[in-house]
Amino acid sequence: MRGPHNIWRLIRTGATFERTGAMGVALEAFDTPVPLRMAARVLAWPFKWLGYEGDPSQPPVVRALSALGPAYIKFGQIMSTRPDVVGADMAQQLRVLQDKLPPFSVEVAKTQVAEELGQPIEAVFSGFSDPVAAASIAQVHKATLSETGETVAVKVLRPGIERAFRKDIDAFYFAAGMIEALSPASRRLRPRDVIEHFEGVVNGELDLRLESAASSEFSANTKDDEGFQLPQIKWNLSGRRVMTMTWAEGVPLGDNDAIDAAGHDRTILSERVLQLFLNHALRDGYFHADMHQGNLKVAANGDIIAYDFGIMGHIDEYTRRVYAEILFGFIRRDYKRVAEVHFEAGYVPADQDVDEFARALRAVGEPIFGMDATGISMGKLLAYLFEVTERFGMETRTELILLQRTMVVVEGVARSLDPHMNIWKVAQPVVEAYIKQSIGPRAVGADLWKTALVMARFGPRLPKLVEAALIKQSQPEPQNRAKPWAARFTWLGVGLLMGLTVASIGLHLG
């Protein structure tokens, strides 16, 4: 239910932050202006007694987010990868939210596993450990298969997690609606569409069968990627609320001391994380969209191991080309081309001035390229871009939300390994390789060939389609005297498609 009763949930959010002492800490971490800090504290203080108490042993912000529930924990997980936004100390505190939340009972987990698999747990596993990791939606147990003795990881959803997320998302929808109603200027950001996108992502996480399928597809795409590993799904021991996979042995990517002790080169690892993500996003259009340190390990041979595939991102070929051209334009400092790409993709309204937009983008890019490597930040770039797009009336692109968010998270992970990493220098070879492959004569030939294949499938139906169109045009339609033009466009379209077919066949035969 997305009605006014959600005001209570939002009031409780502010009250919880005030009661746990997180309000002041969070406002300071985000460098909030002093007047706004004072206003927030004054508004929240009268309701302080309504807030959740949380675990007093935890730091204030972690305590508040943990008490408020899984959706808020997800936000904290993202911020844990952004020490440049919230500070190094706060980021370190928030890492607890990645995989060190309070677990639920191992007996409850065993009961769920037995019910899901339809057989006693002793018949499947000869050993089943206490939780080794606990996150906002599920927890993981280390187990041994009775039949083979193989060590596996068993992921089990938290009891009642679906209802908990439903409450949070309903409150977010209500807040988004209120924002749109009270601030017309915010409508270009499409807050309700953003929440709808988030809801779709979360629903995918709440069905472990979908996560198993995502892992399988991701594994097929990346099987030849050097320096990258994925655990393999045990399909016969997985279901909606339980997922079993091979055990991933390695050092947590968030433990720099352990990485150093194991003799791994953190500079190489930081570059590999970023380049792997860009390869998956641009080459495959399918990427791990929750790449924080809690979901990554380093194997003994230096390979990066990824797991937890509840949130995966997908972008189509056209969007990948647009994204790559924008990145490539910034790397080459060709701001006019970056501006043109925004207009060609329809990201900026056509009534705006492309040259003026290019100058605004130059104001975004040049200061960043003038910085030391430690100051070059994707987070800052996106913040500056937000200001520019607001000025030029650009709407939020919901299909890019997950991509942009993951890019920021991955940059945070890479910088936690090597604070001096230059993201543009590391990204350049990947983006250039994709540009050469996807934009140019070979790409045009491939596109024409795809058109020919479509024509081949619909070829037998074309005569009937044309005949139906002609019959329709021959019928009198007094309300539309310009209709004969439609027949000309019909024949023009058929001729164009036939021309593309012949051209594409000529290219591939030649």
Predicted pLDDT of residue 238 = 95
The mean pLDDT of the chain is: 78
List pLDDT tens digits, range 210-260: 999 999 999 999 999 999 999 999 999 999 999 999 999 999 998 999 999
CB-based contacts of 74: which residues, under 8 Å, 6+ apart? 136, 202
Predicted pLDDT of residue 8 = 73
Least confident of 82-91, 96-105, 205-214, 479-488: 479-488
The model's confidence at residue 261, banded by pLDDT at 50, 70 and 90, is very high
> Taking residues 74-80, what's their average pLDDT?
71
Query: Which candidate, 208, 211, 213, 178, places its Cα nearest to that of 192?
Result: 178
The model's confidence at residue 499, banded by pLDDT at 50, 70 and 90, is very low
Predicted pLDDT of residue 386 = 61
> Taking residues 328-357, what's their average pLDDT?
86
Predicted pLDDT of residue 136 = 79
**Rg of the Cα trace of the chain?**
26
Taking the C-alpha atoms of residue 208 and residue 218, their distance in angstroms, rounded to an integer, is 15
Q: Which long-range contacts (CB under 8 A, 24 or more apart) does 372-378 make?
A: 373/420, 373/421, 373/422, 373/425, 374/419, 374/420, 376/422, 376/423, 376/424, 377/84, 377/411, 377/423, 378/407, 378/408, 378/411, 378/423
Predicted pLDDT of residue 464 = 74
% of the chain with per-residue pLDDT over 90: 27
- Break the chain into its structural domains and give their ranges: 6-98, 161-204, 250-439, 442-509
Most confident among 218-227, 355-364, 377-386 (mean pLDDT): 218-227
Contact 396, 194 (CB under 8 A): yes
Taking the C-alpha atoms of residue 256 and residue 418, their distance in angstroms, rounded to an integer, is 10
The model's confidence at residue 488, banded by pLDDT at 50, 70 and 90, is very low
CA angle 53, 56, 62 (to 5 degrees): 85
The model's confidence at residue 118, banded by pLDDT at 50, 70 and 90, is very high
CB-based contacts of 197: which residues, under 8 Å, 6+ apart? 398, 401, 402
> Taking residues 136-164, what's their average pLDDT?
91
Contact 250, 299 (CB under 8 A): yes
Can you tell me whether residue 413 is helix, strand or coil? Answer: helix
Can you tell me whether residue 144 is helix, strand or coil? Answer: strand
Predicted pLDDT of residue 66 = 83
Q: Where are the alpha helices (DSSP H) in 206-265?
A: 208-222, 256-261
Residue 396 to residues 187, 386, 393, 472: CA-CA distances in angstroms?
A: 9, 10, 10, 40
Distance of CA 299 to the CA centre of its chain: 24
Q: Which residue has the higher pLDDT, 79 or 428?
A: 428
Q: What tokens appear for 508 in the block?
A: 């591939």
> Taking residues 367-383, what's their average pLDDT?
60
The model's confidence at residue 510, banded by pLDDT at 50, 70 and 90, is very low
- Which residues in 430-442 are b (16+ Cβ under 10 Å) and which e? bbeebbeebeeee
Predicted pLDDT of residue 304 = 96
Taking the C-alpha atoms of residue 326 and residue 365, their distance in angstroms, rounded to an integer, is 12
Q: Does the pLDDT value for residue 189 go beyond 70?
A: no
CB-based contacts of 28: which residues, under 8 Å, 6+ apart? 37
Write out the H or E segment, with its range, that includes residue 405. Answer: helix 398-417
Q: Does the pLDDT value for residue 179 go beyond 90?
A: no
Residue found by looking up tokens 């936004």 in the block: 85
CB-based contacts of 143: which residues, under 8 Å, 6+ apart? 125, 127, 128, 129, 151, 152, 153, 154, 244
Q: Is 290 a catalytic residue?
A: yes
> Taking residues 73-92, what's their average pLDDT?
70
Bridge-based pairing of strands 312-314 and 125-134 is unpaired
Predicted pLDDT of residue 272 = 95
Catalytic residue among 99, 290, 308, 334: 290
% of the chain with per-residue pLDDT over 70: 73
Query: Which candidate, 284, 275, 325, places its Cα nearest to that of 426?
Result: 275
Give one DSSP letter per residue of 454-508, joined into a string: HHHHHGGGHHHHHHHHHHHHHS--TT-TTTHHHHHHHHHHHHHHHHHHHHHHHHH
Q: Which residue has the higher pLDDT, 379 or 128?
A: 128
Overall size of the chain counted in residues? 510
User: For 239-381, where are the E strands, in sequence order?
Assistant: 242-246, 251-252, 286-288, 296-298, 304-306, 312-314
pTM of the predicted structure, to 2 decimals: 0.70
CB-based contacts of 52: which residues, under 8 Å, 6+ apart? 12, 16, 19, 20, 64, 67, 68
Give, as one character, the DSSP assignment of residue 100: B
Predicted pLDDT of residue 34 = 67
Taking the C-alpha atoms of residue 177 and residue 18, their distance in angstroms, rounded to an integer, is 25
Taking the C-alpha atoms of residue 475 and residue 401, their distance in angstroms, rounded to an integer, is 47
Residue 1 to residues 4, 5, 52, 201, 454: CA-CA distances in angstroms?
A: 9, 8, 22, 19, 44
Q: Which residue has the higher pLDDT, 405 or 290?
A: 290
Q: Which residue has the higher pLDDT, 395 or 490?
A: 395
Can you tell me whether residue 77 is helix, strand or coil? Answer: helix
